[in-house]
Amino acid sequence: MAHFFEGYFKTISEKINRADAGSLETVCRYLKGAGREHKKVIIAGNGASAAISSHVSVDMTKNTGLRAINFNEYDLITCLANDCGYEKWIEKALELYAEPGDVIILISSSGSSENIINAARKAKEMGLKVVTLSGFSKDNLLKKLGDVNLWVDSNEYNIVETVHQTWLLAVVDKLTENRKQEAGRRRR
């Protein structure tokens, strides 16, 4: 039994440590730029990726001062899915809430969720910066649609989702640290 956990945590650690630091820095630049321009960050996903969206958007707003939202209100989801179809509900939410200059972070473990792919296409059309997080196939469609792409080399949902959450919270922590340093410089 202990061998399972040792192997499991070793796998997660290896995947987390394969983060592309340059891509994470680019995400930080996009988010800081959105803040300077008084734009917002929109984060969306399905299932566990939606839960990650909630966690990250709350921490981002509270700790970094960026306006971050997610589309996890069940009344919004069911209304738009009922009216437009599940595959287009996030796309419609973007039409209602997004504006050029916003940054959208789209999370799909497989990189093939139709509603997330449609949202990426719509976001590009609307002039949003598109950050994607995916796993599974290295050639997944979502990865091809992002301005910056964070990909996990795994076919296991929990591994991919754990790594996605860790990478996004690392971005939040980096922006939080930057904010503290800037506040310290202003006080001097």
Residue indicated by tokens 């916003």: 102
Cα–Cα distance, 109 to 46 (Å, whole number) = 9
Give the pLDDT of residue 188: 72
Give the pLDDT of residue 1: 63
Q: 178-185 long-range contacts, Cβ below 8 Å, gap at least 24?
A: 178/28, 178/32, 179/63, 179/64, 179/65
> Hey, where are the domains in the chain?
2-187
Partners of 67 in the β-ladder = 40
**Looking at the domain 2-187, which fold is it?**
Rossmann fold (3.40.50)
Give the pLDDT of residue 74: 95
> 0.85 cut: is pTM over it?
yes
Give the pLDDT of residue 182: 85
* Sheet of 40-45, strands arranged across: 67-70, 40-45, 103-108, 129-134, 148-151
What tens-digit pLDDT sequence spans the chain (188 residues)?
679 999 999 999 999 999 999 999 999 999 999 999 999 999 999 999 999 999 999 999 999 999 999 999 999 999 999 999 999 999 999 999 999 999 999 999 999 999 999 999 999 999 999 999 999 999 999 999 999 999 999 999 999 999 999 999 999 999 999 999 888 877 77
